[in-house]
Structure formats: C-alpha cells, structure tokens
A and B are shown apart, each in its own frame.
Chain A
Amino acid sequence: MSNLTDLTISESLAKLRKKEISPVELATAYIEKMSENNKYNAYITQTTEQALEQAKASEKRYTDGTNRPLEGIALGIKDLFCTKNVRTTACSHIIDNFVPQYESTVTQNLLNDGALFLGKLNLDEFAMGGSNETSYFGPVVNPWSRETKLVAGGSSGGSAAAVAAKMCAAATGTDTGGSIRQPSAFCGVTGIKPTYGRCSRYGIIAFASSLDQAGPICKDVTDCALMLNSMAGYDAKDSTSSKVTVPDFTSFIGQDIKGLKVGIPEEYRSDGLNAEVSAYWDKAAEILKAQGAEIVHINLPHTKYALPTYYVIAPAEASSNLARYDGVRYGNRVSGNGLDELYINTRTEGFGKEVKRRILIGTYVLSAGYYDAYYLKAQKVRRLIKNDFDEAFKKCDVILTPTSPIEPFAIGDKKMLENPINMYLNDVFTVSVNLAGLPAMSLPIGLSKNGLPLGMQLIGKSFDEATIFKAGYQLERGANFVRM
C-alpha cells in the first residue's frame, strides 16, 4: 500500500469502510509524519495519545457498523479553537497556559462526526498576521521551502503547512481577512472560508467578530466539502450564526458548469500584478471556459478601499475583543502596584508587537472625536464594498481572482518587517470577501518558476458555497496540480 498519509479524506473513508485500512493504522501514519516533519513547527501542542485512543474507538465503530461521517479521520486544529482540557493559546504568551473547560462548536461537530484530533496548530498571534511570524511559538516553515526557509502564510500557517506536509488529513482554520485562503495558496492546499454565519464562532477565540469565520483546509476540493458538511450549521450559542439550511456540499462535486458565468474583476488586475500570477489567472479562466463556463468582466469599484476599511474595522473590534486578556481570570499575570499596573504589565508583556500595534490603532479609531472619521466611515465604505459585490453578482455566478498577489516569501523578509503596511498589502485580494461576508475558496493552480505554489480564489454569492464547489472541482481537475 502506498503511503496512507497521501490519501485524501474521501479516499481514506472508502478504504476504512471497506476495512482495507484501520483508523489506528491511519492515525499512526499521520503521527509518524508529525514527528518526521517536526521541523516545520506546525504543531504547538500534540494530542497523539488521545488521538490513538479515539482511533481505537473508531475501529470498533467500523466493526459494529456505527461509524459516523468522518469516523477515524485524523485532523489538526488551529490553536484558536477552544478544546476542552487541551491547552489553547491563540499562539500568544498572554494565555499560553490556558486550558479551556469547554469545546468550541465547530470542533464538537467534528468530534460528533467521528474525527480525531492530533493536536493544536500554530498561527499568527490571535490570528493577526499574514506570515505566521507573529506567533509566540515562532514561525511555521513552508514545507515547499528549499534552501531558504519560507513563510507558510497566515494566520492559519500551521494548518496549511500541516495539510501540505501530510501531518494531518485536514485541518481547521479561521479567516478574518484571508487567513484560510492565503496560507492555503502559499502551501499548495485547498481551503474554503464559508459565508459569514455558516460556522458557529462559539469557542473560537475572537479576533474581529464581524469578519471571523471558520473553515477547513484540505488536500482537495472534495475534502473541503466533507469537512464543511460537518463544521457548518446553525448554533443557538452564536447569535450571528445563520439558520440558512446547510446543503450536502459533496453533492455539488462533479456537477458540470456549462453556462456558468465566471466574473473577472477589472480592478484586481492592477499594473503591479506579478506576471506569473496574471498568467495563471488567465489559465484558470481558460480551464473553466473549456468546461463550458462563460467568462464575464465585472467591476468592483471600491476594491481599492477594502484594505484601509479592513484595517480600521478589524483592529477596532480586536482592541475590544482582546480587552478580556487582563490577567484577572486566566492567563499569565504580571503583577504591579495596583490594578491598573497589573493590567498594563500583564498586557504589555503578554501581547506581541503586531497585536499591540493593532490594539493601539483600534483603540484610537474608536476613541472620542475620531469614531466618525474612522470607524463609522469604514462601516459605510464596507457597505459600498458589499454593494459592489451585489451588483457584480447580477452579472455572474462566481468570481475568479488570484488568492495572493505574490508567492511565499522568506521568513524574516526585510521589506515585510520594516513596514507593516507592506505585509497588509498581501491581503489585497482576500479582505473584500470578509468585508462582504461572502464565501471564497483558494485552490492551487500551479507552481511559479521558483517551484512555489500559487493559488486561485473563487468567490461565491452569500450562502452559495454550492457554486464554488462546482466550479472549484472543475478547476482542480483542469489545473491538475500535483500535491507535495
């Protein structure tokens, strides 16, 4: 038998059901990969013993026929999802000793469907970053790196790298401004951020509540459908979770796309766009066209303002969401003379540089006298950005864009570090989607001349992941990307 860790979830499930392989064998293979690929720094907490126990239980279920949809599938969990009795840190020093006494809804859904968890995956501190370099536990190394260590992207860098390097069958991620899609693109894997409200945010450590959304990072489109089937659903514990019916996403896999209108937004093809990225974008359009889709040109006139809008709204919400990390009820406390000093010392020592930067910006834009000029203005522009998409979707069914304007860069890249805005600009193709609350998938389209993966993004209408899965599957077939 070829390497078990090469199998996708759908392939593994087929073999498990036919009892050609056992959950314990499968889990063991992943655990071996984890230790072999430890150098990528993808996992920050391993729960392999617990996973093997679960695998044994799964084995029994396959025997007695009570196996559930993801029975025995070994997953990695982004360390932003609270897992009961398993340390959950958001990769921040301020809560690097925090052990939740509760389980997030998304991980509970996966457990209920028979999945097992190999451990907790590295991310940018509180999901703030695009390169996984802000993690208190150090950067994740992109498994595609050769001589130079490259970033895995962020913030779900650990998730994307672990899937690429076969250290889990799939992983959970979260996406606030591109945190599932950009690392998926950088690591040559497939990830989907569903519509805002599809997955419950209960138990996911909040970054920017109006933008955060969970989703899977997988080996292929079909696995994304399987994972999202389990992760999504209305949850009374999250008032922003949606009651819109969750279809069986796997049912859209393999459906033809004849007559599907694929929109290409003019504004995304800026002068500075990398030629290779541009060429692959054309290629992706060609693939879809060859499958019977129709290419239409669309406009998203406020695209230029998406990043500044995002960098007002996200830090503002974050500054408030992160106020609870004060050293009083949990986390690391740094004492001081009196309560205010305790707060200041705890937070100054506990948070990393990027997190503090965003808290300061967020505090400023909400402060008296500036709220209207920044926050309120950004909320209004946010509506215009959403309106752009509403208009565009009158002309097309799905939008095709590159995921990232660049390929993975080196860890410690000077240009990115010297000016935070340079790093922020990498999110240019992904943030609009979060601002408009839309679903979007990134899938690998090919390799750059440097041998690094590049990703394409498919953006769907609100609650229309179905079309993304249809088009995504066809694009995947046409691109014929060879996984690591």
Chain B
Amino acid sequence: MAVDNDTVRRIAFLARLKVEQDKLEETKEEFNKILAWVEELGEVNTDNVEPLVSVNNETLTLRQDEVLSGHISEEILANAPAKEYGYFVVPKVVE
C-alpha cells in the first residue's frame, strides 16, 4: 500500500505537522520504505488470533470516588506559554 504525496500531506495535517514542499518526495519515499518493511506482517496467518490488548492480562483496578486533587491552578498554569485571568490563552478559535 504505497502512499502518495496527498496522503503524506493529509497524514501530516492529522498529526499537525508540516512537511515542506521540497521534503515531500523524500518523506514519501521514506514512508513507503518503512511501510513496505512492516508489511511483512501480512505473511503471518493471524486467523482466529485475538489482538493482544493487555500484555500481563491485568484487569482494571477501580479508584474510590474521592476528591484528592484540586485548587492547584498555580501549578497547572506554571508552564503555560500564555495565560490570563487564570485561563490558558490561545488565538481566537473560530467555530
């Protein structure tokens, strides 16, 4: 399943990354090389094989419903690149 330039562009946008026009070809080739390599998996017969979800067969432990954290807005905002009035700030989002 070789990818084309459009696919690379679409995938890059999904990941919010930019692939410069002059790097597109190179990125695509590298992409296809890696994909061709992982496609070796197609050789393996996986009929009736359950996908592995939890490697140690652990099941989920549930937490008691207690309020254990909060009122730490200063710490939450400590690393914020832009903050005002206790909010994180981003450029206007147009809905």
Contacts and interface: CB of A to CB of B under 8 A. Distances in A.
Instruction: Specify whether A and B are partners.
Output: yes
Interface of A: 97-99, 101-102, 195-197, 210, 236, 239-240, 242-243, 302, 304-305, 308-309, 311-312, 319, 326-333, 335-340, 342-345, 347-348, 351, 356-357, 359-361, 363-365, 367, 370, 373-374, 376-384, 386, 419-421, 435-437, 462
Contacts of A196: 55-56
A86 to B, nearest CB: 13
Contacts of A332: 81
A312 B38 contact: yes
B70 interface: no
Nearest to A320: B15
Nearest to B79: A330
A126 to B, nearest CB: 14
Contacts of A330: 79-81
Nearest to A436: B55
Contacts of A336: 91
9 contacts: A196-B56, A327-B81, A329-B76, A347-B15, A373-B1, A381-B49, A420-B30, A421-B37, A462-B56
Contacts of A329: 76, 79-80, 88
Contacts, number: 160
Given A329-B80, A330-B79, A339-B91, A380 B17 contact: no
Contacts of A335: 91
B27 interface: yes
Q: Which of B11, B75, B76 has the most CB of A within 10 A?
A: B11
B52 interface: yes
Given A98-B79, A367-B14, A380-B44, 20 more contacts: A236-B61, A305-B44, A308-B40, A311-B34, A328-B88, A330-B80, A331-B81, A335-B91, A342-B90, A348-B18, A360-B12, A360-B27, A365-B38, A380-B52, A381-B44, A381-B49, A382-B52, A384-B46, A421-B34, A437-B55
Interface in B18-73: 18, 27, 30-31, 33-35, 37-44, 46, 49-56, 58, 60-61, 63, 72
Given A99-B78, A305-B40, A384-B46, A236 B63 contact: yes
B50 A383 contact: yes
Contacts of A239: 58, 60-61
B6 to A, nearest CB: 13
Nearest to A335: B91
A364 B38 CA distance: 12
Nearest to A434: B55
B60 A311 contact: no
Interface SS of chain A: helix
Given A242-B58, A328-B90, A359 B41 contact: no
B14 A363 contact: yes
A381 B79 contact: no
Interface bracket on B: 35 or more
Contacts of B81: 327-328, 330-333
A338 B13 CA distance: 14
Contacts of A327: 81
A343 B33 CA distance: 28
Contacts of A338: 91-94
B13 to A, nearest CB: 8
Contacts of A333: 81-82
Contacts of B54: 240
Contact of A381 (B13, B41, B76, B78): B41
B30 A210 contact: no
B52 to A, nearest CB: 4
Given A197-B58, A308-B41, A381 B46 contact: yes
B78 A342 contact: no
A308 B38 contact: yes
Nearest to B62: A239
Contacts of A326: 16
A364 B3 contact: yes
Given A101-B75, A360-B11, A195 B30 contact: no
Contacts of B13: 344
Closest 10 CB pairs of A and B: A437-B55, A379-B51, A330-B79, A101-B75, A333-B81, A380-B46, A343-B16, A383-B52, A308-B38, A380-B49
A461 B30 CA distance: 37
Contact of A308 (B37, B60, B75): B37
